[in-house]
Amino acid sequence: MDQVFIRGLAVDTVIGVYDWERTITQQLVFDLDMGWNIRPAAAEDELAHTLNYAAISERLQAFVEQSRYLLVETLAEELAATLMREFGIPWLRLQVTKPGAVPAAAGGVGVIIERGVKTA
Ligand SMILES: Nc1nc2c(c(=O)[nH]1)N=C([C@H](O)[C@@H](O)CO)CN2
């Protein structure tokens, strides 16, 4: 299956389990791979036939900015379900990185989820 992707999309939001985290915003970084057959869009050179990564990025930013979850797990699940429903995405892989959470972890910490069905 072909994929449309978004890498390193940074969004500030309220996230975290500790009291001090409820009073500040922190940066999260999103990497998203979305299964899609891109051949129809390529054949007709037509945006309407593919996943519009700009529109999906905007929706992701809006969703995350207004969210107030404790866990990155919950945010990932709810965000994935929302994007799949609204954009008709059949399969996705979503990585949510919380860069500042563990200072010694230079590459950040977070979760990766895959949801939906990846067809050939
Ligand atoms: N698996 C997870 N572990 C932790 C989370 C989380 O969301 N998922 N969150 C925290 C704290 O909020 C942490 O980020 C504060 O530095 C700890 N572990």
Ligand 1 centroid – CA 76 distance (Å): 13
Q: Which domain holds residue 94?
A: 1-114
Residue 21 Cβ < 6 Å to ligand 1: yes
Nearest CA to ligand 1 atom 6: 71
Ligand 1 centroid – CA 31 distance (Å): 18
Q: How many structural domains comprise the chain?
A: 1
Look at residue 2 in the predicted model and tell me its pLDDT. 98
> What CATH number does residue 59 fall under?
3.30.1130.10
ipTM associated with this complex: 0.97
Residues of the chain scoring pLDDT < 70: none
Q: Answer yes or no: is 94 within a domain.
A: yes
Q: Answer yes or no: is 40 within a domain.
A: yes
Look at residue 43 in the predicted model and tell me its pLDDT. 98
Tell me which residue has tokens 């969210």. Answer: 67
Look at residue 119 in the predicted model and tell me its pLDDT. 85
Concatenating the DSSP letter of every residue in 41-93 gives HHHHT-GGGS--HHHHHHHHHHHHHH---S-HHHHHHHHHHHHHHHHT-SEEE
Residue 71 Cβ < 6 Å to ligand 1: yes
How much is the pTM?
0.97
